[in-house]
Structure 1
Amino acid sequence: MTVVNVAVAVIKVADRVLIAKRSKQQHQGGLWEFPGGKIESGEALADAIQRECFEELDIWPTKIAPLTVIEHEYTDKSVRLEVCLVSDYLGVPVGKEGQPLEWSPVGSLNNYDFPQANKAILKLL
């Protein structure tokens, strides 16, 4: 099975984390997620985080730190999530793809339905 390399941005300000709801048409549609997307061939992780945040949220991360790497196998695909903590950025987040956004307190993240691969991220926060 081919592995999809994904850059994931945990955007945290004070005790709140920005999450987005996946559209019904996407893999794992209707679930909440941390922003991010596929890493392009030859692309550095920090560059992928910046590009994905700009494409999805209209923000430009300025403080990015690696957090963890998670490998997960779904029935239809394997993913390798390269997760970074974004603690500062330029701009104001908006759902440029029409996705709902929420600033959730860290302690409330377990109240949202996330893809299985994201559950390990929740344990780190």
Structure 2
Amino acid sequence: MQKIVHVAVGVIMREQQYFLTKRLEHAHQGGKWEFPGGKVEKDETVAQALHRELQEEVAIDVLSCYPLIEVSHDYGDKKVLLDVYVVDNFQYEPTAQEGQQSAWFTLAQLSQLDFPAANVAIVAKLLANK
């Protein structure tokens, strides 16, 4: 039985723009844009994981957030469960900390980008909420 990777994801939003990072080429789903986040550890809540991962990956402190969507996806080689939160109040300027590209995008631009399949549902939810 395949293990499910539980991931806390932050849709970092400011002034109608969204902050994304690009997966490193050698990573799973490499070269694709994504909403930052990371694995929920065994003794951690999703909120704790989100705060920790966004500090590690993009150097921000989350001040407030709210749930957006939960996404389950089977990539064939791996299954993921994404707990996705909109992060609309944070401290510091987000910057990629792991050598990857990063940028701010408008909602319209999101539909033009190449995302991992599990992130497509996040973009669809954002577009439906506009």
Deviation of residue 100 (structure 1)?
Answer: 0.9
2:61 paired residue number: 60
2:50 paired residue number: 49
Q: What letter is aligned with 1:106? A: L
1:9 paired residue number: 10
What is the aligned residue count? 125
Deviations 1:11-57 (A, max 9, x none): 01121000000001111000000000100012111111111110011
Deviation of residue 75 (structure 1)?
Answer: 1.2
Q: What letter is aligned with 2:92? A: G
Residues 1:74 and 2:84 aligned together: no
How far apart are the structure 2 equivalents of 1:37 and 1:96? 13
3-state secondary structure, aligned to 1:80: strand
Segments of 4+ moved more than 4 angstroms: none
Q: What letter is aligned with 2:113? A: Y
Alignment of 1:77-88 (within 5 A): 77-88=78-89
How far apart are the structure 1 equivalents of 2:94 and 2:110? 19
1:94 paired residue number: 95
Q: Which runs of 5+ in 2 are unaligned?
A: none
1:119 paired residue number: 120
Residues 1:31 and 2:24 aligned together: no
Q: Which runs of 5+ in 1 are unaligned?
A: none
Deviations 1:52-93 (A, max 9, x none): 110011111111111111000011010000000100111111
How far apart are the structure 2 equivalents of 1:24 and 1:5? 22
How far apart are the structure 2 equivalents of 1:111 and 1:123? 12
Provide the TM-score with structure 1 as the length reference.
0.97
Percent identical pairs in the alignment equals 42
Provide the TM-score with structure 2 as the length reference.
0.94
3-state secondary structure, aligned to 2:111: helix
